[in-house]
Structure 1
Amino acid sequence: MATSGTATFDLEISEVIEEAFERCGLQSKTGYDIETARRSLNLLSIEWANRGLNFWCVEKGTAATTASTSTITLPADTIDLIEHWIQDGTGTLQTDLPVSRVSVSQYATIPNKLSEGRPVNLFVDKQRAAPVVYLWPTPDKVYTFAYQRLRRIEDTGLVGSTTPDVPARFLPALVSGLAFCISQKYPEAFVRSSELKAEYEFQWDLAQQEDRDRSSVHFVPGGYS
């Protein structure tokens, strides 16, 4: 028999929820069942951000600096910066110059934070509303501050009209994780909790091992503060 010739399988949020309930030996019957599952999915996405680097959430961004202003506010859904550099010039004369990241204690010891020039260091202040980047020296003119950022996984949208903001290879881990969360909430499914937790961790490890940078890694010792 012939194969389908396609590789586009995906799940809507409603199907993720339905599959997770079935793994718990339950059925989602009420609006509250759907709402509590959506809440668990959103919390699960935050947990995944805490587990490490999710490559599908790495995005490039740019921001124009302002002369005599040292701060840049990043998009509110930014978790952290991965790489960062200053672009100076235009066209074939453009140069990308790396900017080194320093700790809060290293930034605090800079004697003159108002000195101006091309930024060579930055400190990321992770505020609740949005991270703020402090550049040093303070830009003496308009530069392009370019960066690769790690953003949050998008929130779960309306059930039945959206798909999860995860690659297909992470769907087994997403369903398994939600099933475990649901088993923590429903007494009749709690008996399966340990089994569902083990399956969740197994599926997460499988997906995470695949979601990695396969290029050669070169470690350079850094200073201590």
Structure 2
Amino acid sequence: MSLENAYHDELGDYFARTVGTSPYNAFTDRPAMLDLAGDVAGLRLLDVGCGAGHYAADLLERGARVTGIDGSATLLRHARERVGDRAELRLHDLETPLDFAGDATFDAVVCALVHHHIAARGQLLAELHRVLRPGGFLVLSTTHPTADWRHHGGSYYDESWVDLTLPHPSLTIRYQRMTLETLLNEWLSAGFTLERLVEPRPLPTLREVDEARYEKLRQAPCFLAVRLRRPGGCAD
């Protein structure tokens, strides 16, 4: 993600340590996003905000050729430990153009729980549209607008930047609240078409691990995930 909001140092280590088993990441967001991605065998795939490499590892196992980018050197170190040299990993500030990639370089893009950390979202979406081949797809997840409204309170239409305290005495993450209207309009204005929208539910196996969070995530949405298409070419 952006250098400013990326998970550096202790925050990056904390994220890498917990994301593999987190009820929110491992049992809710990642299964939904991988389902949206579908069959990726043989595809040239860009993992935007690749973090500690959990998505990259799964996508490699499914046969994709993966390039991962992130603004955190800490997380990229963990990603390299996870996937070795099987993926190309780059340190990149997502607030800047994707100048390492030519037009129509990739068949697919995965952008998991990064969108809300980016200030220059219009630029990033335009760049993702550019580097995707015509007919290629983008799967993207972000915080659910109603989840942010419930947690932070105030007006649903408040789109301020907020800090979320993690289950750690000194760590927070910063991101922007957005309405569903804002999100959809940004995606469509960038030239994408919407193929699917899901509000991910937790895997049933989470009940055995953390029943309280399973019930919470089963009753109220935490994330929003979409599959978007760059028009043109041959759809998969």
Q: State whether TM-score is above 0.5.
A: no
Tell me which structure has the larger Cα radius of gyration: 1
